Amino acid sequence: MNLAEYRGVWVFLEQQDGRIAPVSLELLGAGRKLADKRGVPLSGVLIGDQVRELAADAFQYGADVVYLYDDPIFRDYRTESYMRAVIACVQKHKPEILLYGATSTGKDLASAVATDLETGLTADTTLLDVDQETGLLEASRPAFGGNIMATILCKKHRPQMATVRPKVMKALPPDPNRSGQIVEERIHLREEDIRTKVLKIVRETSKKVRLDEADIIVAGGKGMGSKEGFQLIHRFAEAIGATVGASRDAVEAGWIDHQHQVGQTGVTVTPKLYFAIGISGAIQHLVGMQNSGLIIAINKDPDAPIFQACHYGLVGDAFEIVPLLIEALQEESDKEVQYGGKV
């Protein structure tokens, strides 16, 4: 493999319902930095059915080029069809780096593409850098349940690929004056060549807990003691209009569903306000919430690591403090209602 033939930074542009996924826009932001450092173009790979107009968004968020596969066969994401498009595009245009969002689609696609291209793939990256001279991608990620960080390199194969956790990289502010070049691509693919068929897609947006979009999260951990004890977290969250989060311990104890789990094996969150209650602060939890705007910890163990990771800490029994807090916050909101009434 002649590594020098491979040039440029690429982002797989995941799209759904007529918009580019937020994680892909974040990756354009991160990819722009890598591309500028290397002095190479940043390109997006856009695959779908009637998705051409999304290319303009990709340009506004930093892409120079969009490789477009626009065909009815790509209406639904399917590993086999999308994989073939990405592989064909890579083989034709030879990028040095290819990034995907670490979403169910991005991970599925990247794993298949990496195997066929026999190249390296780093999963769930949280830190990206590139060596300006060699072009070596330094993809770092938490490993062993978040106990350590590891930097992964892929020295002899191209493209260097990584999936990147949503909500970790920053999208650039969109520049409406920015445009780029659309390169139309085509592969010969018949429906009967694809062995899977999507029969139905069921969106559960109302039911689904959108922890990653919440402004305020109240999260409980092992310190809540029991499923009954954990109800206090629900009560507090309801009182202040927050979304309920949980540590892995609370989820594994069966006190709450996995979709509420914050951390390495759960969701990464960036609310404006995060309450960590009865959560000791294992690294695997911290990696999922440390970018929150304001972190308040309540724990009865003054030496709990969570106090190292919060902005303000309350040392004491959650079952004493939280009811007081609910009361105080409700008084506060009552005052505001009265104030609002006067106006």
Q: Which of helix, strand or coil describes residue 139?
A: strand
Cα separation, 88 vs 94, in Å, equals: 10
What minimum distance in Å lies between the beta carbon of 321 and other proteins?
5
89-128 mask for other proteins (x: CB under 8 A)? --------------xxx-xx-xxx-xxx-xxxxxxx----
Cα separation, 89 vs 92, in Å, equals: 5
Q: Give the CA count within 13 Å in the CB-facing half-sphere of 113.
A: 31
Q: Say which residue the tokens 């209602």 belong to.
A: 337
Cα separation, 257 vs 70, in Å, equals: 39
Instruction: Rank residues 302 and 341 by Cβ distance to other proteins and give the closer one.
Output: 302
Q: Which of residues 5-64 bind other proteins (CB under 8 A)?
A: none
Q: Tell me the backbone φ, ψ of residue 253, rounded to 5 degrees.
A: -75, -10
Q: Which of residues 262-301 bind other proteins (CB under 8 A)?
A: 264-265, 272-273, 282-284, 286-287, 290, 293-297
Q: Interface with other proteins includes 190 (CB under 8 A)?
A: no
What minimum distance in Å lies between the beta carbon of 306 and other proteins?
9
Instruction: Rank residues 269 and 309 by Cβ distance to other proteins and give the closer one.
Output: 309
Instruction: Rank residues 110 and 233 by Cβ distance to other proteins and give the closer one.
Output: 110
Q: Which of residues 196-225 bind other proteins (CB under 8 A)?
A: 196-205, 208, 215-216
Q: Interface with other proteins includes 332 (CB under 8 A)?
A: yes
Size of the site for other proteins (CB under 8 A): 89
Q: Which of residues 237-256 bind other proteins (CB under 8 A)?
A: 248
Cα separation, 10 vs 109, in Å, equals: 14
Ramachandran sector of residue 36 (left: φ over 0; alpha: ψ -120 to 50; beta: rest): alpha
What minimum distance in Å lies between the beta carbon of 47 and other proteins?
17
Q: Tell me the backbone φ, ψ of residue 50, rounded to 5 degrees.
A: 60, 55
What minimum distance in Å lies between the beta carbon of 286 and other proteins?
7
Cα separation, 180 vs 271, in Å, equals: 34
Q: Interface with other proteins includes 227 (CB under 8 A)?
A: no
Token couple for 296: 């308040």
What minimum distance in Å lies between the beta carbon of 176 and other proteins?
20
How buried is residue 56: exposed, middle or buried, by Cβ count under 10 Å (0-12/13-18/19+)? Answer: middle
What minimum distance in Å lies between the beta carbon of 279 and other proteins?
14
Asked if 310 and 282 touch (Cβ cutoff 8 Å), the reply is: no
Candidate list 157, 239, 253, 291; residue touching other proteins; CB under 8 A:
157
Cα separation, 158 vs 271, in Å, equals: 37
In which element (H, E) is residue 85 found?
Answer: helix 79-93
Instruction: Rank residues 36 and 116 by Cβ distance to other proteins and give the closer one.
Output: 116
Q: Interface with other proteins includes 343 (CB under 8 A)?
A: no
Q: Interface with other proteins includes 177 (CB under 8 A)?
A: no
What minimum distance in Å lies between the beta carbon of 121 and other proteins?
6
Q: Tell me the backbone φ, ψ of residue 295, rounded to 5 degrees.
A: -110, 120
What minimum distance in Å lies between the beta carbon of 92 and other proteins?
20
Candidate list 3, 88, 153, 189; residue touching other proteins; CB under 8 A:
153
Q: Interface with other proteins includes 75 (CB under 8 A)?
A: no
What minimum distance in Å lies between the beta carbon of 104 and other proteins?
5
From the CB of residue 72, how many other CB atoms can be counted at a distance below 10 Å?
9
Candidate list 76, 93, 94, 187; residue touching other proteins; CB under 8 A:
76
